[in-house]
Amino acid sequence: MKQNITNKMDQCSIIERNYTTKSGSTVIKRYQKRKFLGKGSFSRCYEIYDPDKQKLLAGKVIDKASLDKNEAKEKLLNEVRIHQLMSHPNIVRFEEYFEDSSKAYLLIELCSNNSLKAMIKQRHKLKEIEAQYFLVQLVYAVKYIHSQNVIHRDLKLENLFLSNDMQLKVGDFGLATKLSFAEEKKRSVCGTPKYMAPEVIASKARGYTLIADIWSIGVILYTMLLGETPFESDNIERTYRRISIGMYSYPKDSNISPEAKNLISQILKIYPSKRISLEDILNHSFVTKTAIPQRLPEAALESSISYDQLTFDEKESIEYEEQIIEMEAKTPENSTPTKVSDEIYTNKHLTSFNTISKKIPLINKKALKKEEQIPYKEQRLETDSMTYIKHYKDYTKNYGIGYLLTNGVIGFYFNDMTSLALFNKEQYAYYDLYSSAGISYVKKETMGKKDKILDQFKSHCKRIGESNNILDSEEVLVRQVTKTKDGILFQLSNDVVQMVFLDGAQLIFNLKIKLLIHIDKLGAKRKMTITNALNSDKTLTQSFKCALNLLDYLNTNTELLILQCTKRRNLMIQEVSN
C-alpha cells in the first residue's frame, strides 16, 4: 500500500509534453514539478525542473476545467501571445506553453528572490537609492513593452519579480493588451484598483492609452519609499474618488527628498497629457542626482543595507547599458505621446475655498502695475464684444450646468468634465478637460444622450424668453467649472473668467485685456479696467481678489477643478454611455 502511494506521488511530480518532430515522430519531453510557489485566480505556480536544459523554471499550471468558457481560454492565449513577444533583461523570460488532456502549462523564467511586494512587506519601505535602482529597471522594461504597442495594465509590486542577482523583472501579462497603433484607446476597466490611472477608471467614456502604465509607476515609486500606496482606503469607491482627483498626501514623519516628491507629483498627473514621459523620468533629478548601483546584495531582501554594501561597477554599467540599447534597437522607437509640462502641481487634501483663501497669498500686484498693462484702447475691442455667460441653470445633481452666452451660443458643461456648445445646427464644438486636443467639432448625432440633455436646456431657455440667435462673433464655450462655498467660477475658452457669487453678484474679467465687468446683486452693470477696479470700493476689490485668488490656486492645483465633478463621475459616465 505504501509503495502504491509513493508511485502516485512520483507520477504527479512528472509533467509530460508530447510533440511531433519535423520528421513526424512523436517525442515525449518530461519536466519535474517541484516546490509549490503560490496560486492565482485560475492557476497554481510551481518550480519546474527542465532536465534537458538542467535549469529551474517557474510554471503556471492551469486546470482546463476552469477554462470552460471561450473567453477565459482566449485570455490565457492572449497572455501567451503577448509574453512571447517580450525579450528584455528586465522582463520575465517566456520559455514554453503547452497543454495535455486536463491542464495547460505556461513555463517562464524563475525569479528566485520572490517579488518586490515580498521585499516591501519584509522591509516596510526602501531607501531612496534602492528605489532609484528598481525604478530605472522598471522604466526600461515599460519602455520596451510600449515599443511593442502593448499596455501592461497591471503593473504593481506583486508583478515585479527579483532574479537571483536582484535584477527587477516585470511579469504577469494576463491583463496586457496589444494595440493596433500607439495612440489607440482601450476602454476596458481592468487592473488592480489602487494602481489604476484616473483615465482607466473613467475608460468607458474616455478610453486610455499606453500612458496609463506610467501612472502605475508613480504609485509603485510612492509605495517603495513610504511602504503604503498613495490612494488606498477602506472603500473601493473612495479609492476611485481619490485617484480621480489625484488626492494623496505624505505622512508627517516621512523624510523623502524634494526630488522624490517632485517626480511623484509629475507622474501622478490626473491628466494623461501632462504626465511625465518615461524618457523624462530617466532624466529626472531624482534618478540622476546620485550614481545608481549595478546590483543590490540579497541581504537587502531582509533588512536595510549600508552604502558600502552596494556594487558600483563601471564595466557592468557599460555592459548593462549596451544590453538595453541592443534590445531596444530591435524594436520601433517608443512613441508614447507624452510631454512633461513645465508646471509642477501639488497634490494635497482638498478643502473648501473659504479654507483655501486663507492659505493663498493675494495675487502678485506686480502683474497689475500700470506700466505692465496692455492699454485697453490698443486692443480695439468694444466691451460688449467680450463674450460671457448671460444665463445658466445648475443640473449638477444629475448632469452638469447648462449655459447661454451673450453671443447667443447655447452649451452644456457635463459632470464628466466635457463641454458642448452649439455653434450651428449641424455640429457641436466639443471640449474634454482630460484631453490635450483642444476644441474639436463633432456631429450632433454622435453625441447620444448629451445631445438630448442640451436640447432640454435649449427648451428651458425658450420657455423663459431667452433667445439663442447666434451672433456673428467668436466661437466660445465653457472649459471648466468650479463650485465653491462662495459661488461658481466659470472659465471660458476666450480667456474670460466669470465668478457668480451666492448673492447673485458677478465679476467677469479678462486678464489679457485688463477688462472687468461688475454686475451687482440687483443687476446693475459697470465696466472698468482692472486697475480702476482695485481702486474702487472695498467690497468690489475684495470680491475681485477673492475670484483672482481662486483662479490663481486653480491654475497651479488643477486637481481642484474636478473636485465637485468627480463625486458624480461614475454615474454620469454610465448614463451618458447608454
Within 8 A by CB and 6+ apart from 178, the residues are: 78, 81, 82, 85, 148, 149, 150
Integer angstrom CA distances of residue 177 from 15, 71, 189, 191, 461? 30, 14, 12, 12, 46
- Angstrom distance (rounded) from CA 164 to CA 111: 6
Strands 177-178 and 150-151: what pairing?
Answer: antiparallel
**Residues in a beta bridge with 490:** 481, 498
Answer yes or no: are the C-beta atoms of 265 and 347 closer than 8 Å.
yes
Angle value at C-alpha 22, between 21 and 27, nearest 5 degrees: 10
The helix or strand, by DSSP H or E, that contains position 566, with its residue range, turns out to be helix 563-566
Query: What burial class does residue 522 get, using C-beta atoms within 10 Å of its C-beta: 0-12 exposed, 13-18 middle, 19+ buried?
Result: exposed
Amino acid occupying residue 233: S
- Angstrom distance (rounded) from CA 59 to CA 314: 35
Distance between alpha carbon 90 and the CA centroid of its chain, in Å? Answer: 23
- Angstrom distance (rounded) from CA 319 to CA 548: 55
- Angstrom distance (rounded) from CA 478 to CA 495: 10
Which sequence positions are flagged as catalytic?
154
- Angstrom distance (rounded) from CA 229 to CA 226: 8
Place of cell 482638498: 350
Within 8 A by CB and 6+ apart from 334, the residues are: 143, 146, 147, 278, 279
Helix (H, G, I), strand (E, B) or coil at 44: strand
Helix (H, G, I), strand (E, B) or coil at 29: strand
Amino acid occupying residue 453: I
Q: Could you please report the per-residue DSSP string of 164-201?
A: TT--EEE---TT-EE-SSTTPPB----S-GGG--HHHH
The three-state (H, E, C) secondary structure of 67-122, written as one string: HCCHHHHHHHHHHHHHHHHCCCCCECCEEEEEECCCEEEEEEECCCCCEHHHHHHH
